[in-house]
Amino acid sequence: MNKLTHKLKHGHTNPITDATVFSKSYHISFEKPVDKSNIEKLVIQLIQDIGRPLAHNGIIVGHIKVLAKVSDEDFQFLSLTRLDRVDVKSSSQWQTELSGEFNSINLDINVLVFGYKREVIEEIVNGSLVVLRCFDASTPVS
Partner 1 sequence: MRILLFGGFLGSGKTTTILQIAKYITENKFETVALIENEIGEAGIDDKLLADSGLQVRPLFGGCVCCQITSDLITAVREINETIKPDWLIIEMTGLAIPGNIAKLINEYCNFYTGFKTITIVDMGRWPELKEILGPLVTGQVEKTDFVIINKADIEGNDKAEIIEDIKQIVSGVPIKVASAANKLPPDVIEEVIHFE
User: Nearest approach, Cβ of 112 to partner 1 (angstroms)?
Assistant: 6
Determine if 103 is a binding residue for partner 1 (CB under 8 A): no
Determine if 83 is a binding residue for partner 1 (CB under 8 A): no
Among 123, 126, 99, smallest CA distance to 36 is for 99
Among 134, 137, 127, smallest CA distance to 49 is for 127
- Identify the residue among 8, 29, 35, 59 touching partner 1 (CB under 8 A): 59
- Identify the residue among 30, 50, 62, 121 touching partner 1 (CB under 8 A): 62
Cβ(78)–Cβ(43) below 8 Å: yes
Q: Give the chain's length.
A: 142
CB-wise, 34 or 80, nearer to partner 1? Answer: 80
- Identify the residue among 32, 56, 117, 133 touching partner 1 (CB under 8 A): 56
CA 116 to chain CA centroid, nearest Å? 16
Helix (H) or strand (E) holding 95: helix 92-96
Determine if 126 is a binding residue for partner 1 (CB under 8 A): no
What are the two backbone dihedrals, phi and then psi, of residue 22, each rounded to the nearest 5 degrees? -125, 120
- Identify the residue among 48, 114, 122, 137 touching partner 1 (CB under 8 A): 114
Determine if 89 is a binding residue for partner 1 (CB under 8 A): yes
Cβ(45)–Cβ(124) below 8 Å: no
Determine if 2 is a binding residue for partner 1 (CB under 8 A): no
Who contacts 37 (Cβ-Cβ below 8 Å, separation ≥6)? 98
Binding site for partner 1 (CB under 8 A): 1, 6, 10, 12, 14-17, 19, 21-25, 56-57, 59-63, 65-67, 73, 75, 77, 79-82, 85, 87, 89, 91-92, 108-110, 112, 114
